[in-house]
Amino acid sequence: MTKQAITDAFVRQKQVQKREDIVDTRQPGLTLRLTPSGKKTFSLRVRSADGIEQRINLGNYPEVSLKKARELAAKMRADIKSANGNRNRIRKLQREAMRDTPTMRELVSEFGSIRCDVRKIWTPAKSGSKSEAERRISSVFAPLMEMRATEITAEDLAEALGSYRPLSGKPSANGQCQKARLYLMPVLDWAAGREKFRAAGRKRFPVLDVADLRDTADPASEDPSITGLRERALGRDEVQKILPLLTYPAPVNLRMRMHPAVDLRPVALRFILLTAARLDEVASMRWQDVNFDRREWLKPHVKSTRGPSRPQLLPLPDACINLLRELPGYERRDDEPATLVFPSSIDSKLGNWNRITAAIQRESATSDWHRHDLRRTSASLLRLIGVDLGTIDRILGHRIDHGREGTSRALDNYLADLDIEEIEDPQRVALSRLAEVYGKIEGKSN
């Protein structure tokens, strides 16, 4: 959070790569929040009579100009201070502020602006775009998005869930509706000050009398086609059939439009099997992220279910290092370190994964597996060969489950990364054993 005298030109021109709050030095408490999506929101930060700092939304730019925002902030600040502990007066101010309540779309956008640095589903992929959560909510609850949030009832929400039909023409949209419902639920809880947003300072100010999505039925709860967590892992015979197809150059019999000499998708899938990495981590991998001397791969951004993404340093076994050295970009890695390790034919991120997966399934006579199932297969094999669960968690890039391991959270404060040549990293040892298993299944010795 920075302080400066905000000007019209600054508000109009300023763009940011991550969320940023600018405090105006001319009007006490006036704050301009900037987000990567280009949204610019004025708010007032002020302490109420009970000493709790509140953030009062004043509106979005350019609908609310800088001059208007200063006027609103000055009036609201004076009114709150003059209340001097009179709770009835504060409630009256809250009711007055609620007369111009936001639409559902505005409320979702407001919530997204404060969650975009906390949850990936609320973070837009690029400037000017919507986050996954906003897209899902806007699609399923489209008939309600322009209505005032306080006017929408639980019956309205239930009707939207029940009447939504996907553009794809699929007869059931229960899965999409379930996600949209889960994404919208915390928005309404935050607006109303319910559940985990009940504490002062965490809820919206002023709070709104909005419906509770818990009063609607989960459309996926009685859908037999939706089973919750996916548990698919490939069996030995399936792995044996697909491994010969996960090569570079790509096998000609896959009959892809991309020339085999530039199609790195099959070998990228092999790399997923060898590292248990996520597809996006492999597709985003750059040569500068790999230290061949230390045999390590630095993932700059690893997905996290709680909190922002974080880096992960993964020790690589010789099988992975040898695979990388056979790729076409290896010889140019020092001259072009920022280039992708597994690029498309136009040096962008690889795509059309459904097409290559379908081709591999066709040629291997396998079916019903997804790219993420390869990661699950490797994790399952690591457990089968006796690797401890903590090491598997670290390889997968998960946060360590101290409860399951029987350790305290304080242990993290005493563990530092050490590099001692005489001691082999347990993750590299585990992945080396995994590569040996795949080699035996494929009929090769590593």
Answer yes or no: is 222 within a domain: no
Same domain, 388 and 246: yes
Residue 179 burial (C-beta neighbours within 10 Å; 0-12, 13-18, 19+) = middle
3-class secondary structure, 180:
helix
Ramachandran assignment for 152, one of left (phi > 0), alpha (psi -120 to 50 degrees), beta (any other): beta
Same domain, yes or no: 113 and 160: yes
Count CA within 13 A, CB hemisphere, residue 50. Answer: 6
245 assigned to some structural domain: yes
In this structure, the answer to whether residues 50 and 122 fall within a common structural domain is no
Cα torsion at 66, 68, 71, 77 (round to 10°)?
A: -80
The more confident residue out of 199 and 194 is 194
pLDDT value at residue 234: 95
426-442 and 265-275 helices, crossing angle to 10°: 130
Pick from 439, 415, 441: nearest CA to 426: 415
Positive or negative, the CA dihedral 212, 216, 220, 222 is positive
Q: Is the pLDDT of residue 351 over 70?
A: yes
Q: Are residues 114 and 182 in the same domain?
A: yes
Looking at the fold, whether 83 and 108 belong to one and the same domain comes out as no
Residues 188 and 293 in one domain: no
Q: For residue 355, what pLDDT is reported?
A: 92
Query: Do residues 70 and 209 both lie within one domain?
Result: no
**Per residue in 364-395, pLDDT tens?**
999 999 999 999 999 999 999 999 998 999 99
221 inside domain:
no
**Exposed, middle or buried, 159 (CB in 10 Å: 0-12/13-18/19+)?**
middle
pLDDT value for 185: 94
- Residue 380 is classified by DSSP as H
In a domain, 114, yes or no: yes
Tell whether 227 is covered by a domain: no
Q: Is the pLDDT of residue 230 over 80?
A: no
**Same domain (yes/no): 284, 412:** yes
Residue finishing a domain among 147, 180, 215: 215
One domain, residues 241 and 367 = yes
Last residue of a domain, one of 54, 73, 98: 98
Question: What is the domain extent for residue 309?
Answer: 236-442
Give 378-381 contacts, CB < 8 A, sequence gap 24+: 378/272, 378/273, 378/274, 378/275, 378/276, 378/434, 379/276, 380/233, 381/434, 381/437
* Cα 61–Cα 65–Cα 68 angle in degrees, nearest 5: 130
Scan for tokens 């040569």, then name that residue: 287
121 and 90 together in one domain: no
Number of residues assigned to the chain: 446
Is-above-0.75 flag for pTM? no
| The pLDDT value given to residue 34 | 87
Do residues 49 and 136 share a domain?
A: no
Task: Taking residues 65-72, report their average pLDDT.
Answer: 90
The pair of three-digit structure tokens given for residue 290, joined into one six-digit string: 């790999």
Mean pLDDT of the region 54-59: 78
Burial 42-72 (b: 16+ CB within 10 A, else e): bbbbbebeeeeebbbbbbbbeebebeebbeb
Nearest 5°: the CA angle 168, 170, 171 is 145
The CATH number given to whatever domain includes residue 260 is 1.10.443.10
Pair 177, 60 in one domain: no
pLDDT at position 170 is: 55
Domains held by the chain: number: 3
The CATH number linked to 56 is: 3.30.160.390
End of a domain among 77, 98, 119? 98
